[in-house]
Amino acid sequence: TVAEKVRRVVECGIPVMGHIGLTPQSIHQFGGYKIQGRTPEAAVKMLKDAQALEEAGVFGIVLETVPTPLATLITQKISVPTIGIGAGIGCDGQIQIINDILGSYTDFVPKHTKQYTKLADIMSSAITEYYNEVKAGTFPTDKQSFSMDESILAELK
């Protein structure tokens, strides 16, 4: 099991953070980016997995795309910290993808994400300005360039 493998890694002195619920590297097994733990069987399995990871020695567990009540229950039932991403307010801490909260993308915003700014607009404007300056020959200037002793250059010619 995963917990047995985790236990062996921890026994080697390597800290491990568990991750249950939606694991993006396994989305094809889940049929896409779907909420995990919504059926009774899946919820029981998730709780047991969290407990097994705790017993294996993880220092914390990420709960990803899990219903809030289940994430809260798991957090109450284990003693290691839980970090939620799309798991509601009942976890011990929260994490988000920096590109999501900064609004780096315009075509998709995950439901569990709050965009605090629209960096995509700022980035697009900056890239356009850069492109225009390079095309016009106004970038780079001496300020962004490096000089050398002219006598050395003369010797090379």
Catalytic sites, residue numbers = 64
DSSP label of 61: E
CA–CA distance, 91 with 133 (Å, rounded to integer): 48
CA–CA–CA angle 98, 104, 106 (5° rounding): 135
**Cα(119)–Cα(125) distance, rounded to whole angstroms?**
10
- Say which amino acid occupies 99: N
Q: How far is CA 80 from the centre of its chain?
A: 20
Return d(Cα 47, Cα 44) in angstroms, integer: 5
